[in-house]
Structure 1
Amino acid sequence: MRRLTGVAKRYRRGGGPVLSGVDLDIAPGDVVALVGGNGSGKSTLARIVAGLSRPSEGTVTGTPTIGYLPDRFPGGQRFSALDYLTAMGRIGGLPTATGRARARTWLDRLALAGGPDVPLATLSKGNAQKVGLAQALLTEPDLVVLDEPFSGLDPDAHAALGDILDELRRSGSAVVYTEHRADRARGWPPRRTRRGHGPHRAAPHRGSGGAPAVPRRDRPRGRAVRCRRRRARGRRPRG
């Protein structure tokens, strides 16, 4: 589906790498967590996976359809949540009626406060995050890339998102998401862990504990890749 080989990223010529030696193979049904603190390069890696940033070195292959949630939702726009998602659906190739129906379904599933006609400019961080998640899922993509998807969500929305991620991998979609907290990533224990490299040759972190209440054979085939911050000259990475 998507493969990164020897990927490195520099923001300024002559500056140190934000990412180096990243090898990542994403297959249908995979759930991959990119775990690390601020400045570790996990958001940069997510953008490369999503095709929104080019690596300075290495290759990215595979052409899945992709849904992407940025780490900062563009709030303050003069749209209602429903109108915004309908427009994004049209950009993604959906007929207006289909996009509108799917938008209503996702906003209802995520329990958007104020309903689908609420203005984007009035949304709290958590409710804006729900609209962003709906946008990423709207076109039913093969690969969903989510940057800090749990940020700002209330407990009910946390649970709903966990169910959604599980449904995605069961349907054969792959999920890559960034996360500050290793304990939350451990909530998705891997069925199988393969050796690989994250930023700066970080090894995958084997999850344990906090497992969802599903049979072992049905648990997501998940991996957590640790991202570590490296001090480098030049522009500081986001996330």
Structure 2
Amino acid sequence: MLRGVELDLPPRTLIRVEGANGTGKSTLLRLLAGIDSPSEGRITGRRPRTAYVPERFSAALPFTAAGYLVHLGRIHGLRSSEATDRARWWLTRLGADAHARTPLPELSKGTSQKVAVAQALLAEPELLILDEAWTGLDTAARDELDRAVAERVAAGATVVFVDHDPRRLAGSVDAVFRIEGTVLLAAPATRAAGTGPRVRIEAAGPPGAALPAGLPGTPEHTPAADGGVRFTVAATHSDALLRALLTAHPPWHIRRLAALPGLAEDPGDDGPPHRTPTPEAP
């Protein structure tokens, strides 16, 4: 049982929850997602549009993968055509498009987890709750989920997650909370450490243009030799930063891209490769 929990969920924030097994991490996430209600105390404020990926996804449902996503999209208020397009988009992005017509009970554990992730992302939630959501995903899908998290935060959402890998999204986390006993304690965030792969982007705005406000990933920025600006950002935020620069008013011109190694060694994980910006979701 958790006691004395005080936790604010400001927008545009990535929050990690840590703690030993059985301390109540999943309980806290279920409370935040609105699945469970507190026996004492209360949750205040406007209930944001919320999506949740559980630690274990029940695939024993009478739907195909795409049919389930369309059904969930309709529940979230999307039109059928929009839900269908977004279902196709996320299945493709997560590498599960070949299983769109496969009944959920026939999916492998990894593909089932991709469907669980897709159902949480297709409605563009304001609050995204991820309970060990990376478990069971292949490397490409894990990297894609990293990028999707960065995109949701850049769009103004709050993301709260639990993951067994302490390196998960290292360098991008805004706040860390650790459950010890039954108490939730604040811990130092890892953003300042700068671990993990990074990307350098050199860009130039129109003459006299100010730096766009609220850039994703809080990138470091310094003047470039040719009069532009050199941005350095965690790789998980690079696609969102590129999109923000390209869609600024007026738009910025991208001159150079370069992948950089992390400041600390990250054994066994070379990090996500850099790629061009992901097209806008339908």
Query: What is the TM-score normalised by the length of structure 2?
Result: 0.65
> Identity of counterpart residues, as a percentage?
40
- Does structure 1 residue 178 correspond to structure 2 residue 162? yes
- Does structure 1 residue 211 correspond to structure 2 residue 196? yes
Name the aligned partner's letter for residue 36 of structure 1: G
**Aligned residue pair count:** 200
Q: How do 1:47-58 residues align onto structure 2 when only pairs under 5 Å count? A: 47-58=30-41
- Does structure 1 residue 35 correspond to structure 2 residue 36? no
The match for 1:80 among 64, 80, 86 is: 64
- Does structure 1 residue 67 correspond to structure 2 residue 51? yes
| Structure 1 unaligned blocks of 5 or more | 1-17, 221-239
C-alpha displacement at 1:164, in angstroms?
Answer: 0.6
CA contact (8 A) 1:125 1:152 kept: yes
CA contact (8 A) 1:65 1:143 kept: yes
CA contact (8 A) 1:35 1:185 kept: no
C-alpha displacement at 1:197, in angstroms?
Answer: 7.4
Question: In structure 2, what is the Cα distance between the partners aligned to 1:66 and 1:161?
Answer: 17
Match of 1:200 in 2: 183
C-alpha displacement at 1:117, in angstroms?
Answer: 1.4
Of structures 1 and 2, the one scoring higher in RCO (CA 8 A, sep 6+) is 1
CA contact (8 A) 2:13 2:158 kept: yes
Match of 1:133 in 2: 117
| Structure 2 unaligned blocks of 5 or more | 201-216, 220-232, 235-282
Name the aligned partner's letter for residue 90 of structure 1: R
Please, what is the CA RMSD of the aligned residues? 2.2
Q: Secondary structure at the match of 1:126?
A: helix
Query: What is the TM-score normalised by the length of structure 1?
Result: 0.76
Structure 1 runs (4+) deviating above 4 angstroms are 196-199
The match for 2:104 among 120, 140, 148 is: 120
C-alpha displacement at 1:57, in angstroms?
Answer: 2.0
Name the aligned partner's letter for residue 210 of structure 1: T
Name the aligned partner's letter for residue 137 of structure 1: L
Match of 1:229 in 2: none
